[in-house]
Amino acid sequence: MTSLAQRFGPAALMQRWRAARQAREQRLPIREWSGPAQGHAPRFSGFDQGLVAVVVALLALGLVMVYSASVALPENPKFARYAPTFFLGRHALFIGISFVASLVVLQVPINAWERWAPRLFVASLVLLAVVLVPQVGKGVNGARRWIPMGFMSFQPSELAKLAMAMYAASYMVRKMEVKQRFFQAMWPMAVALGVIGLLLLAEPDMGAFIVIAVIALGILFLGGVNGRMFFLSAAVLLAAFALMIASSPWRRERILAFLNPWDPVYSQGKGYQLTHSLIAFGRGEVTGQGLGASVEKLHYLPEAHTDFLMAVIGEELGFVGVAAVILAFFWLTRRIFVIGRQAVALDRVFAGLMTQGIGIWFGGQTLINIGVNLGALPTKGLTLPLMSYGGSAILLNLIALAIVVRVDVENRQLMRGGRA
């Protein structure tokens, strides 16, 4: 593992870039980059159009599938006051607001995010604490994860994912000289992760904590932390998760239901969602039942428009639709990592590690959501990025991707010999 870090980590990539740069300088002089010019707006002369196209395609498909999965909800007395297009309109509004926010974020230089990273992380911790206040936080199905904001409910755990990617990247840049020393390199990050874990488990939101922990560990590894330290940290984290499950009766029940969801003891209880999700995939077969023809969304499969949207896709669009979505997310995650590696090769370690942290976030959460829908992982309350219904998730997803596009724009300008 140490050899992998040495081969693909920042130091190795920086060495390759310097060698390539020396070769280019023999043919064409290149201006040194001294950072973004003060008061100078960047020239967006190029960006990754393929990445933007895939994001737009996933958003469009998600909008269609959210409408399909929610159109019958008003027949349920719980949603009787809503129109059939209620969730469609709200989701479209969330996408519109998020698109505007992403355009604003696109104007912010990456070195500003590096300065703000610690403050943003502290702000996310404060919001995670505020959501636990009974008069402030909104409780749904026994969980208190949202702060009502009128037109939408904000979920601080979504902000915490982006904040962790920024903070961990900033931390690795600041601790680069001691990254091989276990206690000096690890204990501040361990404390930060512990605090955020306690706040998330109080909601409770173990799924978000898993994603955030994976982001933190991934950035530590990519930043060049010693392999033995990485494995030790991962082992401690896995032991902590095992202890949480063992000490919580309802979490144990969920694991048992995952192992045998068809058992009569669980099929009408903890395994109810999973059994109906599997039935939906089974009905979809290869080409699906057709758009809008899902039966499971008709009050059989709970949360069909949020956590279990992929099951509706499987039933209506079949294996072909599911495979297309998986390939799109695989390409998107891979492309984000490529942009991150380019940034590291250009001696922009914070931008590179942060971008790869965002890639870990999107890839990891997508993997967990699809795994839950397919019965490969225990049921967790995690949405499918860019597609599931939810204002906070869409907002932070598009903001994170706008930051990735900004990193790519600055990379391209640097490679042309200009300023970021």
Q: Please report, for the chain, the start and end positions of each structural domain, with discontinuous segments joined by +.
A: 2-13+59-412
Highest mean pLDDT among 14-23, 84-93, 135-144: 84-93
CB 223 within 8 A of CB 360: no
- What per-residue confidence (pLDDT) applies to 32? 35
Question: What is the arithmetic mean of pLDDT over 147-152?
Answer: 82
**CA distances from residue 402 to 108, 152, 355 in whole angstroms, order as listed:** 10, 21, 11
- What per-residue confidence (pLDDT) applies to 314? 96
Which pLDDT tens digit goes with each residue over 209-239? 999 999 998 998 888 776 677 777 778 788 8
Q: Please identify which residue in the block is written with the tokens 């048992």.
A: 256
| pLDDT tier, 24 (very low <50, low <70, confident <90, very high otherwise) | very low
Whether residue 41 is predicted with pLDDT greater than 60 in this model: the reply is no
SS3 203: coil
Q: What is the mean pLDDT of the chain?
A: 84
**CA distances from residue 192 to 118, 186, 212, 216, 345 in whole angstroms, order as listed:** 11, 10, 11, 10, 28
- What per-residue confidence (pLDDT) applies to 148? 86
Percentage of the chain beyond pLDDT 70 is: 85
Which pLDDT tens digit goes with each residue over 175-213? 766 555 656 667 778 888 889 988 988 888 888 999 999
The DSSP line for 55-96 is HHHHHHHHHHHHHHHHTTGGGSGGGTTS-TTHHHHHHHHHHH
- What per-residue confidence (pLDDT) applies to 35? 42
- Number of neighbours of residue 132 by Cβ within 10 angstroms: 14
CB 164 within 8 A of CB 157: no
